[in-house]
């Protein structure tokens, strides 16, 4: 009977069902959380709450902390200059000490953006439930786990009970068939999908990504896709684990080792949507139709192919006009050839070693345009060390790029890394909201290759015309 029922389950439901402790009154599920990440910005009030209630952390070994959101990306060995940031980071250290939590803080070789370090340390594993007080927790779904962002009250709940009360979301499957054109990356796939489905198109859903174009991506590419699930409103996205997943995890610090790894891998290989599994919504896209993407507006759904024009104003809402006014763009025009002032390569979307290798390969022997400020911010200390070991840092410096220390940096401008008012920044991050990269900053989201090419040209270019 059990086997029969399992015949038609989605990957999402297999994992969800395995973590439901019971159903509470009103139909909410008590969901057990395997892994919990915390950082300095969304955790202090949760610890305060624990103190007020006289509670400890229920399962301290299942929570890992890092400092990433407001840390400087220069001179991390020195005390943080900005007083409030320093206070917040110090508070995290104090809270982790008081409650007995593992902290990969500033100066630790594992420190980095929470969604970069989880996977690279092997803390992220298929079949798990994972949460963090950060909406880009969806990144971890690339490994075939249920990972989603939560608010601070929920951070407190997980610290206190290792559980959350959740209503099961609806399921969506997005299948991308076929093969990508040269110069088109995972980032372009997800910007293309969000442009098609809009910034609210996934709200209420958990998304499974499938199809040949997804399957042929590296783990880094899959993380980029799942990372931006939230930008269409979906709580999370996930991809069934396969041999790419298994080989990525082998020998990672916190992955099971030896026989235990083989046993875990055997379980991971059972994690996929059954052929008869039903989704509430299905979307199909053709990889061949995807081109390098750029955003022209102030939400990630406002994206176009690089050779397309911004939509005309006809039939658009007042918010569309407000958005273009903020960006200084005209309805109906192209972005090709527009000057850029800043280039930001980093964030939990695109700061992994593969992103840095791609950028290095492209900029090697070239020079950035004189007027452009180009920042490369690695996702973690491990990515930074690997880049240096491969000599990528020299390539970046020789090309005029500023290679910095790890953190969230200019993705949200909580530290000094801000884009000035009115300046244009082509960015590999995930949000082009008004003021996201600094008050008045104008953000154009794109892939690492498009960002690198635009840094060299000093203007927005189609990277496909520059590939050998």
Per rule CB under 8 A, is residue 224 in the interface with other proteins? no
Among the residue ranges 305-313, 431-439, 451-459, 460-468, the one whose residues contact other proteins (CB under 8 A): 431-439
Distance of closest approach, residue 265 Cβ to other proteins, in angstroms: 13
Residue whose CB is less far from other proteins, 315 or 370? 315
Q: State the Cα–Cα distance between residues 235 and 149, nearest whole angstrom.
A: 7
CB of 45 to other proteins, least distance (A): 5
Question: Closest distance between other proteins and the C-beta of residue 442, in Å?
Answer: 13
Strand blocks (E) in 42-156: 63-66, 102-104, 129-132, 146-149
45 vs 50: CA distance, rounded Å: 9
135 binds other proteins (CB under 8 A): yes
Q: Which of residues 264-283 bind other proteins (CB under 8 A)?
A: 267
431 binds other proteins (CB under 8 A): yes
Other beta carbons within 10 angstroms of residue 108's beta carbon come to: 14
Q: Contact region for other proteins (CB under 8 A) — 165-173, 207-215, 358-366, 367-375?
A: 165-173
Q: Is 346 in the site for other proteins (CB under 8 A)?
A: no
Q: Is residue 99 a contact residue for other proteins (CB under 8 A)? A: no
64 binds other proteins (CB under 8 A): yes
Stretch of residues binding other proteins (CB under 8 A), selected from 184-192, 316-324, 360-368, 391-399: 316-324
Residue 412 found at the interface with other proteins (CB under 8 A): yes
Least Å distance between CB 174 and other proteins? 18
102 touching other proteins, by CB under 8 A: yes
Please enumerate in sequence order all residues whose Cβ is within 8 A of that of 391, keeping only pairs 6 or more positions apart, or say none.
Answer: none
Residues, the chain:
468
Binder among 165, 288, 339, 389 for other proteins (CB under 8 A): 165
Q: How far apart (Å, rounded) are the C-alpha atoms in residues 342 and 459? A: 10
Residue from 7, 84, 339, 389 touching other proteins (CB under 8 A): that is 84
- What is the rounded distance in angstroms from the CA atom of residue 445 to the CA atom of residue 2? 46
Q: Which residues pair with 236 in a beta bridge?
A: 206
3-state secondary structure of 169: coil
User: Which residues touch 78 (CB under 8 Å, ≥6 apart)?
Assistant: none
Told to check if 349 binds other proteins by CB under 8 A, we report no
Q: Are β-strands 20-23 and 29-32 bridged in parallel, bridged antiparallel, or unpaired?
A: antiparallel
Q: What is the dihedral angle through the alpha carbons of 346, 352, 358, 360, rounded to the nearest 10 degrees? A: 70
Which of 17, 74, 98, 200 contacts other proteins by CB under 8 A?
Answer: 200
* 14 forms part of the interface with other proteins (CB under 8 A): no
Q: Tell me whether residue 25 or residue 243 sits nearer to other proteins (CB atom).
A: 25
The one segment of 27-35, 239-247, 338-346, 382-390 that binds other proteins by CB under 8 A: 27-35
User: Which position among 1, 2, 4, 53 is part of the footprint of other proteins (CB under 8 A)?
Assistant: 53
Phi and psi at 345, nearest 5°, equal -110, 110
313 binds other proteins (CB under 8 A): no
Is 400 among the residues that bind other proteins (CB under 8 A)?
A: no
Instruction: Show Cβ contacts of residue 300 under 8 Å, excluding neighbours closer than 6 positions.
Output: 191, 194, 199, 228, 231, 232, 430, 431, 432, 445
Number of residues engaging other proteins in binding (CB under 8 A): 84
| Phi-psi map region of 310: left, alpha, beta (phi>0 left; psi -120 to 50 alpha) | beta
Asked whether position 440 contacts other proteins by CB under 8 A, the answer is yes
Q: What DSSP assignment string belongs to 203-253?
A: TTEEEEEESHHHHTS-HHHHHHHHHGGGGGT-SEEE----HHHHHHHTT-T
Distance CA 196, CA 87 (A): 42
Q: How many CB atoms lie within 10 A of CB 262?
A: 12
Of 86-94, 175-183, 371-379, 450-458, the segment contacting other proteins by CB under 8 A is 86-94
Q: Which is nearer to other proteins, 58 or 181 (CB)?
A: 58
- Candidate ranges 29-37, 185-193, 386-394, 449-457; the one touching other proteins (CB under 8 A): 29-37
List CB contacts of 210: < 8 A, sequence separation 6 or more.
173, 174, 175, 176, 239, 240, 273
Query: Is the CB of 98 or the CB of 289 nearer to other proteins?
Result: 98
Stretch that binds other proteins, among 17-25, 286-294, 307-315, 459-467 (CB under 8 A): 17-25
Is position 183 an interface residue for other proteins (rule: CB under 8 A)?
A: no
The residue within the footprint of other proteins, chosen from 319, 361, 367, 465 (CB under 8 A), is 319
């Amino acid at each position: 009977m059990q086997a029969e029922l399992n015949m038609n389950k989605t990957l999402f439901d297999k994992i969800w069902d395995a973590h439901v402790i019971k159903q509470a009154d009103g139909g909410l599920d008590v969901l057990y959380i395997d892994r919990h990440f915390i950082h300095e910005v969304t955790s202090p009030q949760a610890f305060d709450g624990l103190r007020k209630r006289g509670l400890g952390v229920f399962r301290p070994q299942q929570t890992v902390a890092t400092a990433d959101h407001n840390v400087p990306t220069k001179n991390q060995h020195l005390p943080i200059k900005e007083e409030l940031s320093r206070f917040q980071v110090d508070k995290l250290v104090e809270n982790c000490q008081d409650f007995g939590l593992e902290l990969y803080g500033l100066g630790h070789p594992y420190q980095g953006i929470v969604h970069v370090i989880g996977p690279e340390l092997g803390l992220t594993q298929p079949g798990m439930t994972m949460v963090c007080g950060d909406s880009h927790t969806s990144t971890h779904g690339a490994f075939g786990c249920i990972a989603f962002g939560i608010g601070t009250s929920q951070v407190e709940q997980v610290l206190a009970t290792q559980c959350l009360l959740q209503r099961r979301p609806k399921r969506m499957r997005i299948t991308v068939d076929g093969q990508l054109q040269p110069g088109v990356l995972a980032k372009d796939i997800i910007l293309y999908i969000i442009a098609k489905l809009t910034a609210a198109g996934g709200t209420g859903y958990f998304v499974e990504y499938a199809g040949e174009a997804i399957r042929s991506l590296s783990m880094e590419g899959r993380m980029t896709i799942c990372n931006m699930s939230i930008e269409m409103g979906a709580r999370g996205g996930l991809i069934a684990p396969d041999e790419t997943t298994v080989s990525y995890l082998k020998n990672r610090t916190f992955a099971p080792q030896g026989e235990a790894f083989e046993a875990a891998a055997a379980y991971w290989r059972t994690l996929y949507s059954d052929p008869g599994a039903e989704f509430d919504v299905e979307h199909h896209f053709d990889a061949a139709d995807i081109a390098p993407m750029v955003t022209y507006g102030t939400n990630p759904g406002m994206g176009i192919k690089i050779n397309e024009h911004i939509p005309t104003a006809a039939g658009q809402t007042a918010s569309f006009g407000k958005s273009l006014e903020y960006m200084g763009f005209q309805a109906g025009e192209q972005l090709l050839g527009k000057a850029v002032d800043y280039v930001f390569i980093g964030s939990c979307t695109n700061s992994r070693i593969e992103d840095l290798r791609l950028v290095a390969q492209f900029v090697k022997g070239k020079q950035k345009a004189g007027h452009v400020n180009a920042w490369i911010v690695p996702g973690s200390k491990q990515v930074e060390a690997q880049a240096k070991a491969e000599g990528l840092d020299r390539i970046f410096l020789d090309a005029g790029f500023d290679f910095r220390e790890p953190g969230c940096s200019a993705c949200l401008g909580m530290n000094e890394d801000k884009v000035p008012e009115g300046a244009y920044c082509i960015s590999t991050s995930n949000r082009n909201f008004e003021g996201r990269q600094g008050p008045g900053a104008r953000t154009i989201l794109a892939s690492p290759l498009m960002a690198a090419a635009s840094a060299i040209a000093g203007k927005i270019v189609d990277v496909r015309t520059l590939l050998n």
